[in-house]
Structure 1
Amino acid sequence: MSKVVSIDNTEHYQWGGVCDGWHLAATPNLSVIQERVPPGAQEAKHFHHFAEQFFYILAGQAQLEIDGEVLKLNAGQGAQVSAKTPHQLKNVSSEVVSMLVISTPASHGDRTTLE
Structure 2
Amino acid sequence: MTHSPTRANDANHYLWGEACDGWRLTDHPDLALREERLPPGTAEAPHFHIRSRQIFYVLAGVLSIDLPGRTLIATPGEAVEISPGLPHLVANRGTDDLRLLLVSAPDTAVDRHPAPAPLP
Give the corresponding residue for 2:78: 77
Q: Deviations over 1:24-60 (max 9, x none)?
A: 0010110000000000000000000100000110001
Alignment of 1:1-115 (within 5 A): 1-8=2-9, 10-115=11-116
* Matched letter for residue 5 of structure 2: V
So what's the TM-score if we normalise by structure 1?
0.94
* Matched letter for residue 85 of structure 2: K
Aligned length: 115
Q: CA deviation at 1:9?
A: 6.1
Note if contact 2:18-2:43 (Cα within 8 Å) is conserved in structure 1.
no
Q: CA deviation at 1:10?
A: 4.6
Identity score, percent: 34
So what's the TM-score if we normalise by structure 2?
0.90
Q: CA deviation at 1:8?
A: 2.1
Aligned-partner Cα distance in 1 for 2:11–2:76: 23
Aligned-partner Cα distance in 1 for 2:77–2:66: 18
In structure 1, the gaps of 5 or more residues are none
Note if contact 2:18-2:42 (Cα within 8 Å) is conserved in structure 1.
no
Q: CA deviation at 1:65?
A: 1.5
Q: Which has the higher strand share?
A: 1
